[in-house]
Amino acid sequence: MQAALMVPCYIDMFYPRVGIATLELLERLGVDVVYPKEQTCCGQPMANSGCYEEARATEEHCARVFGSFDCVVTPSGSCTHHIRNKFTAGTDSREKQNLVRNTYDLVEFLHDVLKIREFPWATFEHKVALHTSCSAIRGLNMASMSERVHDPVFSKPRTLLSGVPGIEFVEFERVDECCGFGGTFAVTEEAVSAKMGYDKLAFMQKGASPDCIVSSDMSCLVHLQGCARRQKQDIPFYHLAEVLNGVSL
Amino acid sequence: MSRPVEQAKNAETFLADTVHEERLDKLLWAARMRRDAAARQVPEWEELRTLASEIKEHTLSNLSDYLTQFEARATANGVTVHWARDAHEHNQIVHDILAEQEINLLIKSKSMLTEECDLRPFLERRGIRVTETDLGERIQQLDNQPPAHITGPAIHKTNHDVAILFSQKYGSDPNNEDIAYLAGVMRENTRPDILAARAGMTGANFVVAETGAIVVATNEGNADLAANTPELHICSVGIEKIIPTMESLAVFIRLLARSATGDTITQYTSTFRGPRKGAAMHVILVDNGRSARLGMKRFWHSLKCIRCAACMNTCPVYRRSGGLSYGSTYTGPIGIITMPTFEIRKYSVLPFSSTLNGSCTNVCPVKIDIHEQIYGWREVMEENGQIQVVKKEAMRVADKVLSHPALYQVATATLSTALEVLPHFAVYNRLNVWGKHRDLPQAGTETFHEWYRTHRPKTNEEVGQA
C-alpha cells in the first residue's frame, strides 16, 4: 500500500534520525512510501497558541501537499491530534477533508492499519521507560486513561514495543501525568514546565533504572531530554520508530 | 481595566519554595488517587457522570422555569427569596437585611460565591464584622488571602505556616504544629462569635426546585452552626446551582465527595427547607454574569460545575503553581475557563497556563469539556486582541515561513539558521527561556529533508509539488 510520510518540522530539523527510522521501518514493512518535498508543518504551534489566523496559510499549505493521499503517516501523536481534531484554521476544501480523515500517527498505522505485532529484526535487550504523550492518550485514544478507572487497560505503543525481542518495561508512578512540554507552554510557563519534566524523570527512575526513555512523541522527549541533560543525566532517549526499526543502544 | 494576572511568574515564585510545592503536589495527587479508588467502587461511575451532565444541561436549558418554581416553593415554605443581578446588588441585599436589624457581626460558612462578590470587604467597610467558620477559610481570612482551592482554601499552607499565623493572631504557641491543637485554637476563638452572632450565612451546593430546599455539604459541620445558631440565616447561591428534584440530588451527592476527596459522602449533607420556628431565612439567587455565560455557545457548559475541585487536584500545572498564582476567585482548570467571563483582560493569560493534557476533563463529575474550553478561550483571546503583539508577530512570521516550502527549506538548511527560526515558530520567545532549566536539543548536521534528497535521489521526484 502507498502512504505519504509527514515528517514534523521539529523532527526534520532536530531529529532527522527519527524521520529516517520511520521511513526505513515503513519500507521494511513493504509500504510504498512517498515523501512530499514541499511539506513544512501542520500549523499546530500557532493554532495551539490561539493564533488561528496565523495558522491558516500553513494549514492550507499542509492540506494542499497531503490532501490527495489515501493515507498519511506521521511519527507524532500531537501533529496527528492537531490534524484530526483541531484542523480548523484553514478554509474548508476536499483536500483538507481527505487529510483530516486519512492521517495516522505511526503507532496507529502499525497497530490498527497494518496490524503488525512482531518486530523480529529489532532485538533490544534493554529496560525501557515508556512515555506516551497526552495528545496520544487523551486526544487519539492510543492508550487507556488513568482517570477512566473502569476502562480496560491498554497501550498501543506498548503492544508494538512488546513485539521487539528482549525488551523490558520499567513501571513507574503517575504514568500518564503530563511531562510538561505542552507546546508553547514550555516557554510561556517555563518554570512549571521544567518542574514537571524533572518530576517525570524522577518517577521513571524511582526504584528502577531504565536503560533508556522511549516515546512515540519526540516533542515530549525534546523537553525531557533537555531536563535530563541539565541534571547531568546521560540516559538515552529514543523515538518508538527507532526501537521498532532496530536501533542499538 | 486591570493588568493581566501573571500566573507563570507567580507560579515561578511558588516553585522557588520547594517545601510548599512538593507538599501541595503530594496532597492533591493523593486526593486524585483517592478519587480514582472511590470511582472504582462504583461500577456505574461513567453512567453517573453522564446522568449528572444531562441533568445539569437540562436544568440550565430550562433555567427560568426551575428558578421560578424554586421561588414559589421556597416562598411557600416561609423563605424570603431575593434576586441579585450582580455582585453589588447581592452585597447590598445582604447589607440591607443585616442593617435593618442592626446586626454588626455575621458568621459565615465557606461560599465561593461570596468570594466572587467580595462580600466581606463590602460589609466590613460598612461596620459589619464577618467571621469565617470553615477552618481553611478562617485561616485565609486571618492571613488576608483569598481561598487558594475551592474545597481546601488553605491547602497550600503547612502546619508550620498555620502555627505561626495563629500565634500572631491569637497568641497561641508558635511551636506547636499539632493539628488537633491548632484546630482547638481556632475553635476556642471562633465559638464565641458563633454564639454571639445574630446572623449566619451559608452558600449552597444545590438548590432543589421541586421542594424549595437548599443543600449544603461540609465536613466540619460549620454550615450547620452558621445556619442554625443565630435566628437569621442568609443563603447566597448562584442561579446555576439549581437542580430539578430530590431524586436528582442523589446523583450529585454520589459524585461530589467521591470526586473531591474520595470519601463516599461529606460528613454533613444538610437540607434547609425553611426557617426554624421564630427564625428567618433568606435565599439570594445571584446571576453575576451567569446568564451571559449561558449565552456563550462554546462555554455555557462550564455552568454545570458542582465545585468539587477534582480538576484542580489532577491538574499538573495547578499542583506545581499553587492556587494563589491564578490571582482569581476560581483557580485551576475551572478558573481558567470561568474567570475570563468576569474580566477578559485581567484573566487573558490564564488560558495559556495549561498544557491541554485533558486530565481535568476526564475527572470532571459533570463532564465539562474543560481542556477543550481552555483551547477555545485561547482563540477568544486572539479575537479580542489579548495576545501580546510580539507573540502575534512571531506567529505571523512562522506562518509565512511554514506556508512557503522554499523559505522553510532555506531557513532550516543549517543548524545555525534553524536555531534562529526555532524561537519564531516553535517557541516565539528567546531561546534562553527554554534554556533556563533545560538544555537545547542538539541538531544534526543535516535536516531529514536534506538526508532524503541524498539517500532517495530517484524516488518520488514529482510527488507533492503543489
Q: Is A189 in the B-facing interface, judged by CB distances under 8 Å?
A: yes
Question: pLDDT per residue over A30-59, tens digit each?
Answer: 999 999 999 999 999 999 988 989 999 999
Distance CA B14, CA B34 (A): 25
Looking at beta carbons, which residues of chain B come within 8 Å of A190? Answer: 8, 12, 433-434, 436-437
Task: Tell me, yes or no, whether A135 and A198 share the same domain.
Answer: yes
Distance CA B241, CA B306 (A): 8
Instruction: Report the SS3 class of residue A73.
Output: strand
Q: How many other CB atoms are there within 10 angstroms of residue A93's CB atom?
A: 13
The mean pLDDT of A102-115, rounded to a whole number, is 98
Task: Tell me, yes or no, whether A83 and A144 share the same domain.
Answer: no
Residue B436: the pLDDT is: 85
Instruction: Report the SS3 class of residue A100.
Output: helix
Does A118 map to a domain? no
Task: Tell me, yes or no, whether A107 and A159 share the same domain.
Answer: no
Q: Is A16 in the B-facing interface, judged by CB distances under 8 Å?
A: yes
Task: Tell me, yes or no, whether A156 and A87 share the same domain.
Answer: no
Residue B448 burial (CB < 10 Å; 0-12/13-18/19+)? buried
Contact residues, B window 113-172, toward A, CB-based 8 Å cutoff: none
C-alpha cell at B16: 522557588
Q: Is A46 in the B-facing interface, judged by CB distances under 8 Å?
A: yes
Q: Is B457 in the A-facing interface, judged by CB distances under 8 Å?
A: no
Distance CA B398, CA A10 (A): 13
Task: Tell me, yes or no, whether A136 and A236 share the same domain.
Answer: yes
Looking at beta carbons, which residues of chain B come within 8 Å of A189? Answer: 7-8, 11, 317, 352-353
Looking at beta carbons, which residues of chain B come within 8 Å of A35? Answer: 452, 456, 459-460, 463-464
Residue B394: the pLDDT is: 79
Does A107 map to a domain? yes
φ/ψ of B288, rounded to 5, equals 45, 55
Task: Give the type of residue at B462.
Answer: E
Query: Cell match 442554625: residue?
Result: B228
Distance CA A41, CA A48 (A): 13
Instruction: Report the SS3 class of residue A222.
Output: helix
Mutate to test the interface with A, among B410, B438, B447, B452 (most CBs of A within 10 A): B438
In sequence order, what are the residues at sequence separation of 6 or more whose Cβ sits closer than 8 angstroms to the Cβ of residue A95?
A: A63, A64, A66, A67, A68
Task: Tell me, yes or no, whether A82 and A137 share the same domain.
Answer: no
Number of domains in chain A: 2
Task: Tell me, yes or no, whether A158 and A56 share the same domain.
Answer: no
Q: Is A191 in the B-facing interface, judged by CB distances under 8 Å?
A: yes
| Domain coverage including residue A207 | 127-244
Residue A96 has pLDDT above 90, yes or no: yes
* CA A193, A195, A196, A202 torsion-angle sign: positive
Task: Tell me, yes or no, whether A160 and A78 share the same domain.
Answer: no
Q: Which residues pair with B131 in a beta bridge?
A: B107
Residue A120 burial (CB < 10 Å; 0-12/13-18/19+)? exposed
- Of A91, A113, A135, at which residue does a domain stop? A113
In sequence order, what are the residues at sequence separation of 6 or more whose Cβ sits closer than 8 angstroms to the Cβ of residue B457?
A: none
Low-confidence stretches of chain B (pLDDT beneath 70): 1, 414-432, 443-444, 459-466
Residue B423: the pLDDT is: 47
Task: Tell me, yes or no, whether A105 and A149 share the same domain.
Answer: no
Task: Tell me, yes or no, whether A11 and A55 share the same domain.
Answer: yes
Q: How many other CB atoms are there within 10 angstroms of residue A238's CB atom?
A: 23
Q: Which residues belong to CATH 3.40.50.10420 in chain B?
A: 48-132+183-288
Does A121 map to a domain? no
Task: Tell me, yes or no, whether A87 and A161 share the same domain.
Answer: no
* CA B140, B145, B151, B152 torsion-angle sign: negative
Residue B432: the pLDDT is: 62
Residue B143: the pLDDT is: 98
φ/ψ of B108, rounded to 5, equals -140, 145
Question: pLDDT per residue over B55-83, tens digit each?
Answer: 999 999 999 999 999 999 999 999 999 99
**A72-74/A103-105 β-pairing:** parallel
Q: How many other CB atoms are there within 10 angstroms of residue A74's CB atom?
A: 25
- Of A59, A78, A113, at which residue does a domain stop? A113
CB contact under 8 A, A49 and B391: yes
Fold of B48-132+183-288: Rossmann fold (3.40.50)
Question: pLDDT per residue over A201-240, tens digit each?
Answer: 999 999 899 999 999 999 999 999 999 999 999 999 999 9
Does A122 map to a domain? no
